[in-house]
Structure 1
Amino acid sequence: MIDRLEMFLALAKAEHFGRAAEAMGVTQPTLSAAIRQLEDQLGVMLVRRGSRFQGLTPEGERVRDWARRISGDVRGMKEELRAAREGLTGVLRLAVVPTALGAVTQLTSRFAAAHPNLRFSVRSTTTTQLLAAIEDHEVDAGIGYLDNEPMGRVVTVPLYTERYVAVMRADCGLATHERLRWADLGGTDLCLLTPDMQNRRIIAGHLAGAGIEVAPRVETNSTIVLISHVLNSGWVTILPERAAAIFLQGQPLVARPVTDPDAAHGIGLIAPWREPHTPLLSALLSEARRFDRA
């Protein structure tokens, strides 16, 4: 039954029989047969069918929620048994918002030193994508914003508080100021993250509150692209202080705190809610609680 539930979850995610079969490494007839066998076993129709996938039935949506929990529990059981034999091994999968990518190494490097047989996969996502990936068991945990978005059923550990700086070339006129107000950025050519990023929505809110129309010259989901435009075009970007720090070394760039108001938002580890936690997640949560917030 576990295999059939896994195939059902793959179909619910892909919303396409062919793509789901490809993701599971089986043929489409094999996947279709497994879904029908699961329906017969449970005595309900799970999938609306026509010439193509037409969505889940109400019963299918409830089974999807149960299947996620069952799949997670089975995966956790296997991990706990493996950890008892071999210690923590395998791949820790993390989803991280772009502005926290520089800080994630502080967590992973210490965790790697304590567990040398563990490997890491880190991908950049929005907060919304991060939460969806945790729910779908695509990642083990994430690092993202702890406020402003509905979190759902998760466990969180605060890591640090995000504050903002304007990053510019040293020869920029605004660089003569020790600190800036949000209102000082009016009339400046800005490059910012895309609107689907929570960081952008936070910054846009503070700019709008200062009476500034938010119309950046460049929008991107990459902090590297932002900094490249600052260096080559003389524009200004706004980043969290931790995210900006890595780009200031060896570059003709300066960062000026943006205040009035002094905005602050919490960044933390986000993990699926489950009791008991797997050995991997338990160790990760413990490491997060020792995170250097300075």
Structure 2
Amino acid sequence: MFIALAREEHFGRAALAQGVAQPTLSAAIKQLEDQLGVMLVWRGSRYRGLTPEGQRALVWARQIVGDARTLRQEMRVARMGLSGDLRLAVIPTALTVVAELTAEFGDAHPNVRFSVQSKTSAQILSMLDNLEIDAGLTYLDNEPLGRVTTVPLYAERYVLVAKAGHPLLAGPVKWGDLGGVPLCLLTPDMQNRRIITQHLLQAGVEVTPQIEASSIVVLVSHVVRSNLATILPIRAAEIFLKGDDLGAVPLIDPDASHVVGLVAPHREPFTPVLAALLGHARSLSELDHS
């Protein structure tokens, strides 16, 4: 309940997330404070944040809850073999890739169930901290990750995607050629969008997209039905390029790439299921680890 309160920053929302009444949650937090002999939460007419002692207690709370989950799963594995739930959060540009990680693993371990959510890179890190997910698929080399365990999987490269017949599909396109080209792009809270904006600015191009969306499906549907083009990682685009409606060409100068991989809490021992997934991810990595 304390972790939920720190995450939600609101007594009512935290109680709802825990499936209890607000007075029950408030009483539990007060009981924890009495046990520890310190005030954990600044109180007023509403939640006002954690005290310094509360911030330190939150680190321990996450570790304790994580360790308890690991213990329970290890005992279950001793009884039943590898089984349980694996909760993943994935950046939108890697959603078409996640099956490469989960499908073969699921075939080998049929008693493991996956849930997959689409989240921004920042949300993935926050959810790892708050024990809301077990692992994430995100960028590893563009923005700070903090203290996490990482397994690089592949290098993302970019293509311009447009409707068949678009004049730019005749050959490779330079980033600097995109000035004045009507584009639809992911929203600015997405790290992919920040990466694309960075490369465009370095090429001297400042773009104001006509459409911004948090979904690649929304972007591609607009490309199919308009004169808009979009910029996608080639692996995210491939699933949409199987018909004759769309085409794609590489973006060069620079031939930019960014590493995408699995991230997990920096905590050992891992749960048996997560340890197995990390090992499977290492076996799939396309990057040279020498």
Query: TM-score scaled to structure 1, two decimals?
Result: 0.95
Task: Give the match for residue 20 of structure 2.
Answer: 26
- 1:220 pairs, out of 213, 220, 226, with 213
* 3-state SS in 2 of match to 1:290: helix
Q: Which moved more, 1:10-19 or 1:93-102?
A: 10-19
Q: Match of 2:186, as an amino acid? A: L
Query: TM-score scaled to structure 2, two decimals?
Result: 0.96
Structure 1 residue 213: Cα displacement:
1.3
Q: Is the 8 A contact 2:160 2:248 kept in 1?
A: yes
Structure 1 residue 31: Cα displacement:
1.3
Task: Give the match for residue 255 of structure 2.
Answer: 262
Query: 1:214-244: per-residue Cα shift (whole Å, max 9, x none)?
Result: 2111111100011001100121100001000
* 3-state SS in 1 of match to 2:96: helix
CA distance in 2, matches of 1:26, 1:272: 28
- 2:56 pairs, out of 62, 70, 77, with 62
Structure 1 residue 292: Cα displacement:
5.6
2:283 counterpart of 1:280: no
Question: What stretches of structure 1 of length at least 5 have no aligned partner?
Answer: 1-6
Structure 1 residue 88: Cα displacement:
2.3
Task: Give the match for residue 127 of structure 2.
Answer: 133
Query: 1:127-174: per-residue Cα shift (whole Å, max 9, x none)?
Result: 111011111010000000001221111100010000000001111011
Task: Give the match for residue 98 of structure 1.
Answer: 92
Task: Give the match for residue 293 of structure 1.
Answer: 286
Task: Give the match for residue 240 of structure 1.
Answer: 233
CA distance in 2, matches of 1:203, 1:15: 33
CA distance in 1, matches of 2:136, 2:161: 26
Q: Is the 8 A contact 2:73 2:84 kept in 1?
A: no
Query: 1:26-58: per-residue Cα shift (whole Å, max 9, x none)?
Result: 222211111111111101001111122111111
CA distance in 2, matches of 1:128, 1:67: 21
* 3-state SS in 2 of match to 1:168: strand
CA distance in 2, matches of 1:26, 1:180: 56
2:10 counterpart of 1:16: yes
Structure 1 residue 63: Cα displacement:
0.4
Q: Match of 1:94, as an amino acid? A: L
Task: Give the match for residue 3 of structure 1.
Answer: none
Question: What stretches of structure 2 of length at least 5 have no aligned partner?
Answer: none
- 2:158 pairs, out of 164, 188, 194, with 164
Give the RMSD, CA atoms, in angstroms.
Answer: 1.1
CA distance in 2, matches of 1:189, 1:28: 50
CA distance in 1, matches of 2:108, 2:282: 15
Q: Is the 8 A contact 2:62 2:130 kept in 1?
A: yes
Structure 1 residue 268: Cα displacement:
0.4
CA distance in 2, matches of 1:217, 1:29: 48
Task: Give the match for residue 104 of structure 2.
Answer: 110
The number of residues matched between the two structures is 287
Structure 1 residue 252: Cα displacement:
1.4
Structure 1 residue 86: Cα displacement:
1.1
